[in-house]
Amino acid sequence: MEIVSYNVNGIRAALKKGFLEWLASHNPSIICIQETKAQESQIDTPLFEELGYHCYWFSAEKKGYSGVGILTKEKPENIEYGIGMEKFDKEGRNLRADFKNFSVMSMYLPSGTNTDRLEYKFEYMDTLHTYLSDLKKTFPNLIVCGDYNICHQAIDIHDPVRNVTVSGFLPEERAWLDTFVENGFVDSFRYLNKSPHQYSWWSYRANARNNNKGWRLDYAMVTMPLKQNIENVDILNEIKHSDHCPISVTLKL
């Protein structure tokens, strides 16, 4: 079963750039979407249903901002919107689909573009850590896909020296990912692929994508019991509907 995660940087904009055609061709079992930037009523859901997907959306209260989605070929047993904290849920950052033997979350972790948002990001990270620690007790087979807005190691960013004071590569953010992994999650991509220069986001400035000056911000983290089920991982960097590209993990489930 292939699970794809993709920050589309606006679902309506991505559709105009060929996202639907790519999805039909690639045909993953599940795709977790972040940054839809749309209310559910603004998304042409029947387009995805025609491809055989059950569609679920969790939008931010603020229009044109944030928002996550899950498209799945198999109908889930349960859908969970948010993590039960209004402060974070009003930004549409977490959506979970529960199946018989596993659970998948689409997550959009905040960026820390200024002091206020950085404080919000750290508060969200602490809250999420507690939430997922409890959730693993109910769903030991858990996949948390999404835009984490953090590069974990120096290998995951094109310029680790000059970016060490930039949100997304701060020591405190990276330490949080260390704790995330120590708490029983596996970075599925790095489990199979140790190569450098593997990125999932590039700035629109300075021809960064063509020069591959990027950041690996997108992850498919799986709980330890699923480690042995990881069959393949990929960063689909040739796909260009967004400033991010899709990532994927194939699990034997």
**Residues 178-218: tens digit of each pLDDT:** 999 999 999 999 999 999 999 999 999 999 999 999 999 99
pTM exceeds 0.95 for this model: yes
Q: Which H or E run includes 12? A: helix 11-16
Residue 12 near residue 43, CB atoms below 8 Å: yes
**Which tens digit of pLDDT belongs to each residue from 95-139?**
999 999 999 999 999 999 888 999 999 999 999 999 999 999 999
Q: How does pLDDT run across 179-188, given as a tens digit for each residue?
A: 999 999 999 9
Mark out the alpha helices in 50-195 (DSSP H runs).
86-89, 115-138, 171-182, 188-192
Tell whether the model's pLDDT for residue 176 goes beyond 90.
yes
Q: Is the pLDDT confidence value at 253 over 90? A: no
CA distances from 80 to 159, 190, 196 (A): 38, 28, 36
pLDDT average, residue stretch 220-224:
98
Judged by DSSP in three states, 218 sits in strand
139-172 tens-digit pLDDT: 999 999 999 999 999 999 999 999 999 999 999 9
What does the pLDDT read at residue 114? 86
What's the mean per-residue pLDDT of the chain? 97
- Give the model's pLDDT for residue 115: 87
Q: Indicate the pairing of strand 94-98 with strand 68-72.
A: unpaired
Catalytic site residue from 147, 156, 187, 218 = 147
SS3 per-residue string spanning 36-86: CCCCHHHCCHHHHHCCCCEEEEECCCCCCCCCEEEEECCCCCEEEECCCCH
Measure the CA–CA gap between 204 and 216, rounded to whole angstroms. 15
| Separation between Cα atoms, residue 223 and residue 226, nearest integer Å | 6
**Is 126 marked active-site?**
no
| Residues 49-96: tens digit of each pLDDT | 999 999 999 999 999 999 999 999 999 999 999 999 999 999 999 999
The pLDDT of residue 27 is 98
pLDDT computed for residue 113 by the predictor: 86
Q: Rounded CA gap, 198 and 153, in Å? A: 12
Domains (ranges, CATH) in the chain?
2-251 (3.60.10.10)
